[in-house]
Structure 1
Amino acid sequence: MKDPNILPIIQDESWLEGHTQDIYKRYQRYQSAMEEIISYSGSILEFARSHEYYGIHFEKLRNGWIYREWAPNAHNLFLTGDFNQWDRYSHPMKRNYRGDWEIFLPYDKYKDKILHKGKVKVHVEADNGAYDRIPAYIRRVEQDPENHDFAGQLWFPETEFQWTDHDFSAENNKSHPLIYECHIGMAQEKLGVGTYLEFAENILPRIKAGGYNTIQMMAIMEHPYYGSFGYHVSNFFSPTSRFGTPEELKYLVNKAHEMGISVIMDIVHSHAVKNINEGLNEFDGSDHQYFHPGPKGYHEGWDSKLFDYGKLEVKQFLLSNILYWMEEFHFDGFRFDGVTSILYLHHGHTDFDSTEKYFDEGVDYDAVLYLQLANTLIHTYSENQISIAEEVSGMPGISRSPEDGGIGFDFRLAMGIPDFWIKTLKHKPDEHWDMFEMWHELTNRPKKEKTIAYAESHDQALVGDKSIAFWLMDKEMYFSMGVEQTNLVVDRGMALHKLIRLITISLGGEGYLNFIGNEFGHPEWVDFPRVGNDWSYQYARRQWSLADNEDLKYKYLDLWDKKMISLIDQHKVLKSEHAKQIYLDAEKKILVFERADLIFVFSFNISESYFGYEINVPTPGEYMVILDSDESEFGGFQRIDPSISYPTDDQNNIQIYLPNRTAMVLEKRKS
């Protein structure tokens, strides 16, 4: 019988018993913080509404515009912009005792000056000098096409966007997430930046047809450098204007919801761009307003600034940012970037070779608490919201609730799985693939912590590396993908591409993620316009015409992905218990397991096919192949007859023909 006085994570994970006090202290800090928030604001939802106080708003009661900014160490603040011909000193702001500055602009006086799309900045005089800055809570930022300068933009459209997604529910998608990771700008085939509207019209139907139920959108928060992939954020409350207007982003989300697709954001609260002109760095003249002072506030590997999660105002800023995106744009949740860096003062730059590393002085407990509060806010807003941690250290309880002793995420990204595949493809010939290692890498996760499995994401495809398809087939993808062509490199590559994706989705987690275009084996890498490539968009796009071309083999991989996703969704494989291994033959490189009452059979053998291969199945009956990677419609050799059934013998064994480099899924025929 379990002790109700011991946190559930300790009861479920015996290896953590030596850290009972550490985990309990983690929980106590969370409890105390929640009590303070409730005492201070009434609820965490109200606590996370600083974006309704700061920034520029129209106040109906006072009949005018109010602008507020938190800048406790600044000497003077002045609002400037189109409305006053960019006079830096005509509109001084007043400071209160908390370090908040504000200015009120009455409607009667400014109705012809404070206009929709007007440009604004705030002139800040402080210890670091005098700078024109972009307001911290600004809702839109636009870049001047001539001088490339960024400025805040007033956004007061005459009519509000009319949402039609009131009946949409993300409940089913959250319980069985099939995630399509995408970047709006690089989603089109043209040599240029794609838009929200183009994505809604051209790409959403592809995602729906592919069977994915969730979109994970990158690079939504404004960032000054396009090539940062959206990870050097400057303006946290501004959807990037590169892709269109806020209303056009809302249109995209609304249309996705009409299709039954959830939309989650790749949110970057792990760091911020260090730029002074565009971002938050030294906003009030100090190096410790939003960020840690000195070296502690700088990430050398990312060349960016690090938030001080222990500061009340910073917690409010970040929590308000989360609530803003959920309320204003109807996002259904978040994938938190760089959680390992957030959790540790060393940002994960250590070997996690002992459990002490999860609780020693290297842990930033202010950051742990912030993530607990962030997840509480998300799930208080709606229990159907989804939160995913990009976390590689294996921090215990990352995807368990704070009440269980955890951090509160719904899922953790299984970052070890793509690393395993890339290392295997880079360093091991096929005949040396280790089936025991493969099973371990794909199943090594706590039973009560949910995981998003993936074979590759944007990380594996970024310039300097290659996608799985490109590792497998490389230059042959340029010359040998015709349906009438015979090429051993392509035959091997397509076979393994299908096997890798099926074994990852069926064995690796409780959710699945695919990066845009990789479902059909998109060739090449991802490289955004920059000096080094002469500002080319050649590799910052997706070539959908490859998958649509009936004369090319990309169509086979695309169809395989559709059928694979459909089977996984139909049988709710990701909601089922962990897979049970039935058979592993290290020498012949065969792996068989059961999950969701389906039998998954994989042969990674490079040359041998087996007649009458015997498999012991859990229950007696007659079994049929319901998915076969070797079918001709998937570019295979049609070596398996789909009409054959496989009855069990007295020992619950079936005998099958198992070709090399083939995967099949069998289901017991219903009587």
Structure 2
Amino acid sequence: MKTLKLIKNDPWLAPYKRAIEGRHNRAVEKIAELTNGSGNLSEFADGYLYFGLHKEKRHWVFREWAPNANAIYLIGTFSDWKELPQYKLLAIGGGVWEIKLPLKTLHHLDLYKLSVHWNGGEGERIPAWATRVVQDPETYIFSAQIWDPEKPFTFTKTRFKPKTSPLLIYECHIGMAQQEEKVGTYNEFREKILPRIAVDGYNAIQIMAIQEHPYYGSFGYHVSSFFAPSSRFGTPDDLKALIDEAHQRGIAVIMDIVHSHAVKNEVEGLGRFDGSYDQYFYGDNRREHPAWDSLCFDYGKNAVIHFLLSNCKYWLDEFHFDGFRFDGVTSMLYYNHGLGQAFCSYDDYYNGGQDDNAIVYLTLANELIHQVNPHAITIAEEMSGMPGLASKFKDGGIGFDYRMAMGIPDFWIKTIKEKKDEDWKPTAIFWELTNRRADEKTINYAESHDQALVGDKTIIFRLIDDVMYWHMSKNDTNFVVDRGMALHKMIRLVTLSTINGGYLNFMGNEFGHPEWIDFPRQGNGWSYKYARRQWDLVDRDDLKYQYLGAFDQAMIHLVSQKKKFEQTPIVKLCENDGDQVLAFMRDDLLFVFNFHPCKSFNGYGILAPAGEYSTLMSSDDPEFGGYGLVDKSVPHFTRRDPLFENEHKEWLLLYLPARTAQILRRKKPEEIGISEPSEKVEKAPGKKTDSKPAAGKKAATKPATRAPRAKKESGK
């Protein structure tokens, strides 16, 4: 066997070659086993077309897998919820039960369940493959429901290819996307929120809590019915209409899928579906997740793999989702679920504590998803940093397209909480944002929904806190608000500008949504006050939230218009911890950050590729709530330095106000009618000087442009 590319690309993995190849081979063998050697996982994952309730030409047919059952009845509104002989299922082998009924027996919107009997007990169950589940508003009891409208929804856009260069994700939750204190709907999201996302420039939405879950406050992570879109937000057709509209707007729709665990409920979920403890889950001490109060799937069972793979294909085929963000991948990868483990060396990934069955399942899931839709997007929520997670299967990886850069939000929280402003180090910031495997794409993000949950704080709330309640009017000058808004913009821009794959933002955080997320629960009097988004804050012309929203929109649009931005090398030009200045280039774009809380630098020298630079945007622009200290109309010309001529670099002298970021663009030689940048520099206007600034230091003289409207090194 040839050495896998994953190992070739990283010599430090050579000592673990046997383990990596072993996992790869087990996945190859499992694919061959499940597909009888064909490799067609898509055909294998057609379980949703066989199991569950289906309307055929001459009859209804219902099938369920329940190997421990000894009798099953279909009960519902059609049987007055009684066990009747004509609704008794027949065992047809392999633990599968079946019933065929005349078409006139069942109707659209009928409610139904299963009454399952086993040795020593019985119980009502919602079918495992149910595609619609509803809750009675008075009794709160969940039931499956027949969804068979006369005119089912048809997609107007049947072919859609997501734009992923770069991938700009707007993470969202349907229920809490509304202004009102209530549960929002698919239709309301389509009508009110999608237009906002399109205008803001995001090219993908990542929707949480789609799979049906009994407890709203679980944020959708305690799933009960894996094939049913949550009915609390509307009908299956409403969800399809939302996805269709998103595609028409050029927006990909990624589903937050939960295959890492399941709710413990037995009546609503799969807990003891056929009376046994180990039908879908482990039957031993691994059955319950020690931290999540949920049940852990047994990925070693082919029937469980079939169920979960079919679930992936179902959402792709039936609803036209463009991919998945897999939740809780770290929990799946390790027997200890990654709890209390630091992951300090490669030994931690190959010490025998890994669940190879789960690794094989995730590998198969990625292979299947890309078989069904070659353009599909798969993202792993994973914090341990397991090598190869976002590498191709053929190269020895697990096959995800992206991995979440989960260390970045933790870094920002720790920095804001524990460090004084003057102790923010550009070296630490740059290292954290670019410390990743070269062969794996990541999703950078400053904060997601995790950082907004009750008990935690969003970045803006950590920076401004309760001052937000009193001083966010545009005519109100407040130092705490000024500082918070300035850092909020800089944190987002530096996180976005260093991506090698994609960027994610949670809805509302782009404009500094105040407070936290807290779903209705007994502890808050079942209030929806914090389970919503206050869009009126960013819509009001008199509030500063508008500035933050405008900045986010500007930076997203700028990056999205740059072809293959995420693939361009990041060339560090300046990293000065003393001055707290960071500068780097990506192709012709120059990003400059001055994190210093009080020092503004006039004529700050940065060694950059020779040429003419124009300022595209500054976080200090008035339209972003700044003071307009940077004059964007002034061109900047580099100055020669014989010491760096062989490096084709010259001194670019810039004015850097305190706590600001700038994006400049280097003009191409042909744009200014010359063949060499150095020729242009010779013609550049400005005073000549023999003194040369050291790298990352202030120039000895004023820059070649007119002085900005601010005192030199003034923080006032």
- TM-score normalised by length of structure 1: 0.97
User: 1:360: Cα distance to partner?
Assistant: 2.3
Pick closer, same or farther for the CA change 1:231–1:198 going to 2, 3 Å.
same
Pick closer, same or farther for the CA change 1:390–1:190 going to 2, 3 Å.
same
What letter matches 2:181 in structure 1?
L
Which residue number corresponds to residue 47 of structure 2? 50
Q: Is the 8 A contact 2:63 2:98 kept in 1?
A: yes
Match of 1:586 among 561, 577, 582: 577
- After TM superposition, what 4+ stretches of structure 1 lie above 4 angstroms from structure 2? none
Task: Tell me whether 1:78 sits opposite 2:73 in the alignment.
Answer: yes
Match of 1:523 among 504, 514, 518: 514
**Secondary structure of residue in 2 paired with 1:296:** coil
Which residue number corresponds to residue 552 of structure 1? 543
Match of 1:571 among 562, 575, 586: 562
Cα distance in structure 1, aligned partners of 2:301 and 2:224: 20
**Secondary structure of residue in 2 paired with 1:353:** coil
**Secondary structure of residue in 2 paired with 1:247:** helix
Task: Tell me whether 1:140 sits opposite 2:136 in the alignment.
Answer: no
User: 1:597: Cα distance to partner?
Assistant: 2.3
What letter matches 1:629 in structure 2?
S
Cα distance in structure 2, aligned partners of 1:494 and 1:462: 21
Which residue number corresponds to residue 88 of structure 2? 92
Cα distance in structure 1, aligned partners of 2:497 and 2:283: 46
Size of the aligned set, in residue pairs, is: 659
Cα distance in structure 2, aligned partners of 1:489 and 1:35: 61
Task: Tell me whether 1:666 sits opposite 2:657 in the alignment.
Answer: no
Deviates further, 243-252 or 645-654: 645-654
Which residue number corresponds to residue 344 of structure 1? 334
Cα distance in structure 2, aligned partners of 1:471 and 1:212: 25
Which residue number corresponds to residue 655 of structure 1? 653
Cα distance in structure 2, aligned partners of 1:245 and 1:346: 38
Which residue number corresponds to residue 116 of structure 1? 108
Task: Tell me whether 1:371 sits opposite 2:367 in the alignment.
Answer: no
Q: Is the 8 A contact 2:165 2:564 kept in 1?
A: no
Match of 2:610 among 610, 613, 620: 620
Which residue number corresponds to residue 22 of structure 2? 25
Query: Superposed, which structure 2 residues align to 1:186-585 within 5 Å?
Result: 186-349=176-339, 350-572=341-563, 574-585=565-576
Which residue number corresponds to residue 150 of structure 2? 158
Which residue number corresponds to residue 64 of structure 1? 59
What letter matches 2:228 in structure 1?
S
User: 1:211: Cα distance to partner?
Assistant: 0.2
Q: Is the 8 A contact 2:165 2:560 kept in 1?
A: no
Cα distance in structure 2, aligned partners of 1:64 and 1:167: 32
Cα distance in structure 2, aligned partners of 1:574 and 1:306: 40
Task: Tell me whether 1:644 sits opposite 2:651 in the alignment.
Answer: no
Which residue number corresponds to residue 680 of structure 2? none
Match of 1:603 among 591, 594, 598: 594
Deviation string 1:16-69 (CA, Å, 9 cap, x unpaired) is 111111111111111111222331776111100111111011232xx1111111
Cα distance in structure 2, aligned partners of 1:372 and 1:196: 32
Pick closer, same or farther for the CA change 1:218–1:409 going to 2, 3 Å.
same
**Secondary structure of residue in 2 paired with 1:131:** strand
Pick closer, same or farther for the CA change 1:418–1:509 going to 2, 3 Å.
farther
Cα distance in structure 2, aligned partners of 1:80 and 1:175: 50
Deviation string 1:258-308 (CA, Å, 9 cap, x unpaired) is 001000100000000000110001101111000011220110210000001
What letter matches 1:462 in structure 2?
L
Gap runs ≥5 in structure 1 = none
Q: Is the 8 A contact 1:30 1:402 kept in 2?
A: no
User: 1:519: Cα distance to partner?
Assistant: 0.6
Deviation string 1:111-131 (CA, Å, 9 cap, x unpaired) is 0x3010000000011246211
Q: Is the 8 A contact 2:169 2:204 kept in 1?
A: yes
Kindly report the root-mean-square deviation, in angstroms, between the aligned alpha carbons of the 2 structures. Answer: 1.2
Pick closer, same or farther for the CA change 1:160–1:291 going to 2, 3 Å.
same
Cα distance in structure 2, aligned partners of 1:165 and 1:257: 7
Q: Is the 8 A contact 1:507 1:578 kept in 2?
A: no
Cα distance in structure 2, aligned partners of 1:515 and 1:47: 35
What letter matches 2:661 in structure 1?
A
User: 1:206: Cα distance to partner?
Assistant: 0.1
Cα distance in structure 1, aligned partners of 2:622 and 2:203: 27
Which residue number corresponds to residue 101 of structure 2? 105
Q: Is the 8 A contact 1:399 1:407 kept in 2?
A: yes
Deviation string 1:424-446 (CA, Å, 9 cap, x unpaired) is 11111111222222111101101
Cα distance in structure 2, aligned partners of 1:228 and 1:666: 44
Q: Is the 8 A contact 1:182 1:218 kept in 2?
A: yes
Q: Is the 8 A contact 1:506 1:573 kept in 2?
A: no
Q: Is the 8 A contact 1:573 1:595 kept in 2?
A: no
Which residue number corresponds to residue 184 of structure 1? 174
Cα distance in structure 2, aligned partners of 1:645 and 1:42: 59
Cα distance in structure 2, aligned partners of 1:574 and 1:17: 32
Q: Is the 8 A contact 2:405 2:442 kept in 1?
A: yes
User: 1:155: Cα distance to partner?
Assistant: 1.1
Q: Is the 8 A contact 1:222 1:241 kept in 2?
A: yes
**Secondary structure of residue in 2 paired with 1:626:** strand
Deviation string 1:392-432 (CA, Å, 9 cap, x unpaired) is 00011010111111000000000000010011111111112
**Secondary structure of residue in 2 paired with 1:539:** coil
Cα distance in structure 1, aligned partners of 2:50 and 2:584: 55
Q: Is the 8 A contact 2:582 2:592 kept in 1?
A: yes
Pick closer, same or farther for the CA change 1:42–1:593 going to 2, 3 Å.
closer
What letter matches 1:219 in structure 2?
A
Deviation string 1:587-616 (CA, Å, 9 cap, x unpaired) is 111111111321110010010001110011
Deviates further, 382-391 or 29-38: 29-38
Deviation string 1:120-176 (CA, Å, 9 cap, x unpaired) is 000011246211100000010000011100001011111221211134322xx2332
Percent of aligned pairs with the same amino acid? 53
Cα distance in structure 1, aligned partners of 2:211 and 2:164: 23
Q: Is the 8 A contact 1:623 1:647 kept in 2?
A: yes
User: 1:83: Cα distance to partner?
Assistant: 1.0
Cα distance in structure 2, aligned partners of 1:443 and 1:376: 28
Gap runs ≥5 in structure 2 = 642-649, 673-716
Deviates further, 35-44 or 138-147: 35-44
User: 1:572: Cα distance to partner?
Assistant: 3.5
Q: Is the 8 A contact 2:32 2:39 kept in 1?
A: no
Cα distance in structure 1, aligned partners of 2:100 and 2:160: 39
Q: Is the 8 A contact 1:571 1:596 kept in 2?
A: no
Cα distance in structure 2, aligned partners of 1:74 and 1:324: 26
Deviates further, 596-605 or 190-199: 596-605
**Secondary structure of residue in 1 paired with 2:358:** helix
